[in-house]
Amino acid sequence: MKISWMNRTDTTLGVKQFLLLKGVSQRLYSEVKQQPQAFYRNEQPITPAAQVAPGDQITVVFPPERPDPQLASSLHPLEVIYEDAHWLVINKPAGLTSVPGPSNRTDTVVNRVKGRLEQAGSENLRPHLVTRLDRFTSGIMLIAKDRLANNYATQQLADRTFHKEYLAIVSGRLTNQHDVITLPLGRRPGEIARAVLTTGQPAQTEYWVEQQTATATVVRVQLQTGRTHQIRAHFAALGHPLLGDQLYGGPMHAGMDRQALHALRIEWFDPFCQQLRKFTAPLPDDMLNYQ
């Protein structure tokens, strides 16, 4: 994979300094420079010790990402919302696991993405899941096809400039039309469910009421932090667990046999095209019934 950048500053920089400013991590830079010829300035080969003057174009040859031989490939289809050389956006159905685990090592999102990349003849065969979803949560997921794209996205997650929006159906009628839940979450030894603990990690969940029925409330949710089961645990702590969420005591409703949670939208800045990317995943049928 070759990527080119122009030095649009008025300062002469070293190759390493220039690439770090462009979002190349220290670790990735160290791997790249081990190649026999990885750097070019204005289409001429240079060494890592070269200087990058204002107006110079630097091209970097990134080494291919070889497949993990322990990771099986799956040819089961994915519902693709968007795809280009660096990104894959999918709509994950409820029931499909994001990553391999003891109960499923051969047909998860990661296995399917690897199979898709192999079929396409990609040189990078190690998928990077930027966002993950619980098995029974449906909705939008972003996969980076290479380490540089993953660096860009994970940095935005750390900076909280990567935006994720969910739709959930909680039991009962919420009193506030808009609120921010700020309860620390942790896990007690031996338990899977998260709980509000004074020793837990800080967690913030912002929500807006979209619709209410006599027994349930549809909420639009944005996460200010990314704790495991955050949405499910926070609403359960309020006394309004999600419909169908047996782990957190949610009531079972006709047509809803899993937690009523859908990753609706994602938004991030794409440095490759210098544009803001926005994508939405349509609601599945079991949640459309409540709209």
Q: Is 134 a catalytic residue?
A: yes
CA distance 210 to 40: 53
Q: How many CA atoms lie within 13 A of 238 on its CB side?
A: 23
Which one from 134, 146, 245, 286 is the annotated catalytic residue?
134
**Cβ atoms 135, 166 nearer than 8 A:** no
**β-pairing, 194-196 with 204-212?**
unpaired
Instruction: Give the DSSP H/E element, type plus range, for residue 285.
Output: helix 285-288
| Amino acid letter for position 10 | D
H helical segments located in 109-172: 109-119, 147-159
User: Hey, how many other C-beta atoms are within 10 angstroms of the C-beta on 78?
Assistant: 20
**Cβ atoms 29, 16 nearer than 8 A:** yes
Q: Which residues are catalytic?
A: 134
